[in-house]
Amino acid sequence: MILFLRFFFLLVLASMFAVTGWASSLCPLFSVPREVATHPWFIATLFDAYWGFLTFYVWVFFQQTAWHARLVWLIAILLLGNIAMALYCLNALFRVPLPTPLSEVLIARRPGPSWLGTSLAAAGIGILFIA
């Protein structure tokens, strides 16, 4: 299962980089036409995505025991979405050997600050201001 999930989250990460790169090459991040941004299904999709991000964050909050790590992962997930989530999962999955039961990955606690979360939060903030 660990090997399958490593491939799965690598696919998620690669596809998110591909689609965001493609979209960025066609138009700036915040140039969504008003007709799209105010469309009920666009708004419903955003609510769905962000509630999904926060649901995933509940697991991150459980795993991370340091408040700094909890905060930077929240920022990273809210600003980078599935890119940050895939990297979080890959980080957890590559910390264990292949025969490890998935339950150990899911319930592991992670003390201390998170360099990956901090880096992603900084990247998300940078992208927000550059875009």
State pLDDT tens for residues 35-47: 988 999 999 999 9
Domain boundaries along the sequence of the chain: 2-26+40-130
One-letter amino acid of 113: P
User: pTM above the 0.85 mark?
Assistant: yes
In tens, the pLDDT along 53-69 reads 999 999 999 999 999 99
Task: Give the pLDDT score at 94.
Answer: 95
Residues of the chain short of pLDDT 50, as ranges, are none
pLDDT at residue number 27: 87
CB atoms inside a 10 Å sphere around CB 71: 16
CA of 31: how far to CAs of 23, 24, 46, in Å?
11, 10, 16
Residue 88 confidence (pLDDT)? 97
User: What confidence score (pLDDT) does residue 29 get?
Assistant: 79
Q: Report residue 50 CA to chain centroid gap.
A: 11
What token pair was written down for 98? Answer: 């292949």
- Confidence at residue 51, expressed as pLDDT on a 0 to 100 scale: 98
